[in-house]
Structure 1
């Protein structure tokens, strides 16, 4: 199952958090022409470096299936960012 929603939280200067919800499917639909171009470039790269294109595609699919439930937080000084994938 591919991720459905990405939540990005950022701490403002006044200490409050601002939240941004990014639905994955509409973003993929809007960026699909670029996604198609990226897949073609990846296939050419697989041919150039003699990597199995099927194996690379399978690995990418497994990575996408493992994303839901992922959460990471970055904090550096007064800047903090939290990303959650559902």
Structure 2
């Protein structure tokens, strides 16, 4: 199952290193209780994250933004920009 999923993901994200980053970010979110539209089918969160990426169930831009946020120590500038967007 996971091998087929990775092969499908590589069609969406050409760089395997980026794929690892995006999938790990999504798996962390799933571990923290984020909902998914997919059936778990006794799969681990890492496999579910890969399936979501392969089936385009989650936007890659969202994962990229969340990944960057996870590495930032000071999010105040980002929060200010998001507040300005709302206005």
More helix by share: 2
Q: Of the two, which has the highest radius of gyration? A: 1
**Do Structure 1 and Structure 2 share a fold, with TM-score over 0.5?**
no
More strand by share: 1
Q: TM (normalized to structure 1)?
A: 0.30
